[in-house]
Amino acid sequence: MNLIDVVVVLVVVAYAVLGYLRGFVAGAFAMAGLLAGGVVGLVAAPLLLSNLDHGIQRSLLAVVIVLVLASAGQATGSHIGGRLRERVTHPPARSIDAVAGVVLSAVASLVVCWALGYAVSGSQIPGASTAVRGSKVLAAVDSVVPQGVRGALHSFDTVVDATLFPRYLEPFTPETIKPAAAPDPAVLQRPEVKSARRSVARITGQAKCDRGLEGSGFVYASERVMTNAHVVAGVAQPMVTIRGESYDATVVYYDPSLDVAVLRVPGLEARSLAFDPDAAQGQSAAVLGFPENGPFDARAARIRSEQRLRSPDIYGTTQVVREVYALRALVRSGNSGGPVISEQGRVIGVVFAASISDSSTGYALTAGQVGDAARAGARALRPVDTGECA
């Protein structure tokens, strides 16, 4: 057990005692108020904080909004329930009411702790996300929570998340970061890597939720650009910019589970980058893209490890296992969908996430993992639906 587990146990015990004193009737109203206030907070936080940039301040404010509204709802419900409990005067009935109050309060408080932990686990609140991920108590609760409930927290989750990347791990799974030698800057001077830069694109678009999205991508076949699904989620008409020229594009392949999309770009003339599925731990590489919607950026990288990560899809509704490389590299929002290039100028991975606990670690889907998507996207001609905003 870690500190979060101790806090959760103390909270549950405290609420159980309070439930005994208040009884089931008063507790039911208090918990109903707590949950109602919490739901209002989950809905209100994304609306109230929509104009704030992603960051720790936004994460903290979102948590505060939910806690304040949930507490207000609990106080209101407790007052109403307390008045009703005064009418329960028969001793046996009050005993049953007290015992039932213990169970109700303990379970409800545990659910609330899980919901807050779920959201905080994807944030960059210093120390909190790492501690929450290591909680055995919350992990046990999470194992019995229906997937649909996790999906309901998605909109709040995107507010608390301090990055623009999707979740790359299950919420209560500790992150394993293996040591690796520092990246070698010399890789950026190799002719093959320099040549690959000319095939890297900036991708922008306006999503259905009135949010501007941006990311990176790369040419891998004739008039085809690969990127992440979360870069074009909810976007009907993405724009591809490469070497200063902009092109209208259509999404012809979209996989929100794997987090891969392929864009068809009529008239695009650029060298196609080849894939290399045989990269290895410790291998030197380069991360290419347009981080934070800025100018082209190339960063030296090194493969820390190859992993099979179990994580939610980009909408948080289903679970998927992805084959990924953990990279020692600086990966920022906007690098999403950009290629990880080997010293030979081949694509060994597609960036899709950055670590929330270590700024020198990023994650890329392996070339082998995106192989089927690449082949299907190269053949596809018709536009496909890109769903809702991720």
SS3 content of the chain, % helix, strand, coil (to 5): 40, 25, 35
What residues pair up with 341 in beta bridges, in sequence order? Answer: 286, 347
Residue of 142, 230, 311, 342 marked catalytic: 230
Show the tokens assigned to 123.
């944030």
Q: Encoding tokens for residue 57? A: 């301040």
Q: Find out whether 275 and 372 touch, Cβ atoms under 8 Å.
A: no
59 contacts 123 by C-beta, under 8 angstroms: yes
Could you give the C-alpha distances from 254 to 26, 64, 223, in angstroms and in order?
Answer: 50, 36, 16
In angstroms, the CA 17 to CA 15 distance is 5
What's the token pair of residue 142?
A: 């999470």
For residue 292, what is the DSSP state?
G
Distances from the Cα of 123 to the Cαs of 130, 148, 151, 316, 379, in angstroms? 9, 21, 17, 15, 38
- Cβ–Cβ < 8 Å for 227, 217: yes
| Annotation says 336 is catalytic | yes
CA distances from 360 to 100, 187, 228, 301, 332 (A): 50, 17, 21, 10, 10
Residue bearing tokens 């500190």: 3
d(CA 162, CA 56): 6
Q: Is 101 helix (H, G, I), strand (E, B) or coil?
A: helix
Catalytic residue among 259, 276, 297, 313: 259
- The 3-class SS string of 17-49 reads HHHHHHHHHHHHHHHHHHHHHHHHHHHHHHHHC
Read off the DSSP letter of residue 235.
B
Which of the residues 199, 336, 342, 355 is marked catalytic? Answer: 336
Region of 276 please: left (phi>0), alpha (psi -120 to 50) or beta.
Answer: beta
Two structure tokens written together for 274: 């080849």
Instruction: Identify whether the C-beta of residue 284 lies closer than 8 Å to the C-beta of residue 329.
Output: no
What residues act catalytically? 230, 259, 336
